Structure 1
Amino acid sequence: MRGVRRQYGRGSGAVHALAGIDLALPRGSFTAVMGPSGSGKSTFLQCAAGLDRPSGGTVHLGGTEITGMSENKLTALRRTRLGFVFQAFNLLPSLTVEQNVVLPMRLAGHRPDRRKAAQMLTRVGLGDKGGRRPGQLSGGQQQRVAIARALVTEPDVIFADEPTGALDTTTAVEILGLLRSAVDGMGATVVMVTHDPAAAAYADRVLFLADGSIVDRLERASAQQIAARMTTLTAPAYAGVAA
């Protein structure tokens, strides 16, 4: 991301959601993005993933500049080179687990690779659940399916938006372990937005956003270090989270 800005509205009522982001994330790394409500976390993720167009600056995925792409090309790129994991899982209830996993292949116009889907489901501990419907699974199992779906096309980047927000602590630890193992074992690149210092501690680095800018970062930090840094940035906004 080079000089990425995102402005909503004009004139005196304009909101500068991103105020000029300069950032390069290496392949095979795990980055967490944190900040108070309104800091620009969601806009950051949407612009980085090509879901929203910046008002200024450029976004590059590998050697490809995605900023000026047509919507059709962006859609094709997202289906083949990006993976997504959301807080609400976003599985299709009428499809089986296996069908949900191969959906990115089908949407990209490729023949679904059932063997690859089975491998990914085994990797996330659901090798025997391919024929189930999402509604027959627990929340943690559904998020595992979402991770398998994100990994199945071996994307350049996986974007995770509060992936543990709807899960209990024990299940959250399992999901974060899977994301960490995707980086360490498969060379995946993960960018995760989270409000939880314990979740951020699984990342290689933590970026702190405030008022649309990256104001600090930590490398290989513990949950305690991350929480402490959050409280010192903008104390009133962070105090409740850190507590």
Structure 2
Amino acid sequence: MGLGLRRTGRHGAQGGPAVELSGVRRVYGRGAATVHALRGIDLTLPRGSFTAVMGPSGSGKSTFLQCAAGLDVPTEGSVRLGGTEITTMDENELTELRRSRLGFVFQAFNLLPSLTVEQNVLLPLSLGGGRQDRDRAAELLARVGLDGKGRRRPAELSGGQQQRVAIARALVTRPDVVFADEPTGALDTTTAAEVLGLLRDAVDSLGATVVMVTHDPAAAAHADQVLFLADGLIADRLPRTPAPTIAARMTALAGRPAPSYTAA
């Protein structure tokens, strides 16, 4: 099903990149406990693209997502979202950025059980003090296959339906970027494919930009490109590729020896 929603340009020049990382490093701890989670990421993602990020455990993919989304601050380097430099923002500015210009879809859905489905979709607008655009909420819910379910509570929905609500919520502000962290991790194979189809349609029909961390080659196969992280670096990338090819590349990366580094 196509989302069929028109992208309206609210933020930045529409021709510019959606995501830009330059020399991004993230170091945790000190001395013998130092962890180099990201060792220097340079990356530009165009608007209207779907990027999957994969890597072995400890490769830095979660840290990558957190730094790119303004949930964590790089130790070094620059992050720009929709043309806006975010690494110099204070916490209040970052909160406003995440609320108004970014969308998030998590494995655990993160819906508020006391709110209706419609209220959950409109939550980013409510928190920002914006107009409660119930027509847009209804349109998004219809496009994700939940027409007429706006008055229900999350507990009345299946897991797949709750993730559909989360996708509608992520799109309600017409964000510069939607960040998805293992969005199908709690879903069965059939439901996962339906949810991934909705994210794919958000890119193709709405012009959304999606950056998704996943461990699942079948999920990554929906993306325009797959980035492979290893040891805090981008080790490889593939254009839109069938799942078996992605799985083979992951297997090869997981078996490679870690590089040696000397302390600076």
Q: Is there any run of 5+ residues in structure 1 with no aligned partner, and where?
A: 238-243
Mapped partners of 2:82, 2:121: distance in 1:
25
Look up the equivalent residue of 2:146 and give its one-letter code: L
* Residues 117-175 of structure 1 deviation map (CA, whole Å, 9 limit, x = unaligned): 00000010001100000000000000000000000111000000000000000000000
Residue among 184, 192, 205 paired with 1:185: 205
Q: State the shift of 1:232 in Å.
A: 1.6
Mapped partners of 1:65, 1:35: distance in 2:
27
Contact 2:105 2:183 in 1 (8 A): yes
Identity score, percent? 77
The CA RMSD over aligned residues, in Å, is 1.0
Mapped partners of 1:73, 1:208: distance in 2:
31
Equivalent residue for 1:98?
Answer: 118
Residue among 23, 45, 49 paired with 2:69: 49
1:71 aligns with 2:91: yes
Contact 2:38 2:63 in 1 (8 A): yes
Equivalent residue for 2:189?
Answer: 169
SS of 1:59's partner is strand
Q: State the shift of 1:234 in Å.
A: 2.7
Mapped partners of 2:144, 2:126: distance in 1:
21
Q: TM-score, normalised by structure 2?
A: 0.88
Contact 2:55 2:253 in 1 (8 A): no
Mapped partners of 1:115, 1:138: distance in 2:
24
After TM superposition, which residue ranges in structure 1, 4 or more long, deviate above 4 angstroms?
Answer: none
Equivalent residue for 2:141?
Answer: 121
Aligned length: 237
SS of 1:167's partner is coil
SS of 2:179's partner is strand
Equivalent residue for 2:108?
Answer: 88
Alignment of 1:145-156 (within 5 A): 145-156=165-176
Mapped partners of 1:233, 1:163: distance in 2:
23
SS of 2:43's partner is coil
Mapped partners of 1:138, 1:62: distance in 2:
34
Mapped partners of 2:47, 2:256: distance in 1:
35
Mapped partners of 2:183, 2:250: distance in 1:
20
- Please identify which structure carries the higher helix content: 1
1:4 aligns with 2:24: yes
Mapped partners of 1:230, 1:91: distance in 2:
32
Contact 2:56 2:250 in 1 (8 A): no
Equivalent residue for 2:247?
Answer: 227
1:107 aligns with 2:107: no
Residue among 8, 14, 18 paired with 2:38: 18
Look up the equivalent residue of 2:208 and give its one-letter code: A
SS of 1:102's partner is helix
SS of 2:44's partner is coil
